A and B are shown apart, each in its own frame.
Chain A
Amino acid sequence: GAGVSQSPSNKVTEKGKDVELRCDPISGHTALYWYRQSLGQGLEFLIYFQGNSAPDKSGLPSDRFSAERTGGSVSTLTIQRTQQEDSAVYLCASSLQGSGGTQYFGPGTRLLVL
């Protein structure tokens, strides 16, 4: 069956530009998570969606970061005025419900800010 998909797979942008990263979760999964992984580092939580609501945005590093989810499905993570320190792999995961169940990860978007 189809897993979590993300696009683009790679993104190179110039400092100061805005970028949008997309996540398509597994069909029927109500919970969706965004994580960030810097080179050689662990996974850093950014934001969690249950349906279209985001009850926890505590991991977003600054107000340049925002995310939305529509129709209880696709989610978009937007980074405005990108900085070099935003360079990382952005991973999306979904789970059937948000109660500690298995999270299935997408392949990630590798963002490089020049």
Chain B
Amino acid sequence: QQPVQSPQAVILREGEDAVINCSSSKALYSVHWYRQKHGEAPIFLMILLKGGEQKGHDKISASFNEKKQQSSLYLTASQLSYSGTYFCGTPETGGTSYGKLTFGQGTILTVHP
């Protein structure tokens, strides 16, 4: 079952903040966040494994809610380099499963000067 991302697109000016959500109707085992720039490969941002977990580096962080049905990606003081399409991916099963990811439809983030 494909996770649902919102919003589909967001336009920011440099320095503004954004939140991208990834949700599912059932509990998620983990959430993987990637960013893809036009014409390039998706780049790994972070994984959240536990309900209630929060992670971040630089000005990009993410949370995974307690019920493990939603994750949010937070971009603060956005930079031009943040522009791209953000995807969340989730494995279908947990434990020692192989980790095939089902991705959301993506959120297009555009940062203007």
Contacts and interface: CB of A to CB of B under 8 A. Distances in A.
Q: Do A and B come from one complex?
A: yes
B99 to A, nearest CB: 4
B110 to A, nearest CB: 14
Contacts of A101: 47, 99
Given A48-B98, A98-B98, A99-B97, A43 B41 contact: no
B45 to A, nearest CB: 10
Contacts, number: 64
Given A41-B105, A42-B87, A99 B99 contact: yes
Interface majority SS (helix, strand, loop, mixed), chain A: loop
A104 interface: yes
B100 A56 contact: yes
Interface stretch (B12-20, B57-65, B73-81, B88-96): B88-96
A43 B5 CA distance: 13
A71 interface: no
Contacts of A33: 100-101
Interface in A1-26: 4
Interface residues of B, number: 26
A50 B30 CA distance: 20
Interface in A90-114: 91, 95, 98-108
Contact of B99 (A42, A43, A100, A105): A100
Nearest to B45: A102
Contacts of B42: 43, 91, 105
Contacts of A31: 98-99
B94 A100 contact: yes
B87 A103 contact: no
Contact of B101 (A50, A55, A99, A103): A103
B103 A99 contact: no
A45 interface: yes
5 contacts: A33-B100, A45-B102, A100-B97, A101-B47, A101-B99
Interface of B: 2, 29-30, 32, 34, 40-44, 47, 87, 89, 91, 94, 96-106
